[in-house]
Amino acid sequence: MFPCGHKGYGQGCHRCLQERLLLEQKQQQRRQWENSFAQDPIDLTDLPNHVVVKARYIIAGLQTQTDYRQFGGKRLRHNRSIVSIPVTRNYRMLCRDYGSFLVPQEVLSHEDYNVCKPGGY
Ligand SMILES: [Zn+2]
């Protein structure tokens, strides 16, 4: 019996050691995740994790000249220089078309998108 209450043999409690290592690993992963946003060309910090992952996948694709139509992207009818690419069911990425390449502008939820559509884009 160890001071922590766990039972076992040896110098120290292996279960507590393992828990501590796991916690440190998680903290490090969280730091890496938080730091990773500095690499993004647009702000993705407020988005759910799976949206961030998908958005980065699309951004990387655009950077390597993948056609936006392969991601289901469409030009906005009222502003042909803006392309809207679905990220998930609830989010879309707006990109500005510079002719030979697209530059991501922002990722919006459907609600934000419908609000900003008439004015901003
Ligand atoms: Zn223990």
Domain residue limits, the chain: 14-120
CA of 10 relative to ligand 1 center, distance in Å:
12
Assigned CATH for 14-120:
3.30.2310.20
pLDDT band (50, 70, 90) for residue 113:
confident
User: Could you tell me the pTM of the whole model?
Assistant: 0.78
pLDDT digits 0-9 by tens, 29-70: 999 999 999 999 999 999 999 999 999 999 999 999 899 999
In this prediction, residue 29 carries a pLDDT of: 95
Token pair listed for 117 = 């559509």
Residues 55 and 46: their CA atoms lie apart, in Å, by 12
CA of 21 relative to ligand 1 center, distance in Å:
13
Residues 107 and 49: their CA atoms lie apart, in Å, by 13
CA of 31 relative to ligand 1 center, distance in Å:
26
CA of 7 relative to ligand 1 center, distance in Å:
7
CA of 32 relative to ligand 1 center, distance in Å:
28
Q: C-alpha distances in angstroms, 109 versus 66, 83, 87, 112? A: 23, 15, 9, 5
Strand arrangement, sheet containing 82-86: 74-75, 82-86, 91-97, 102-109
Average pLDDT, the chain: 92
In this prediction, residue 119 carries a pLDDT of: 47
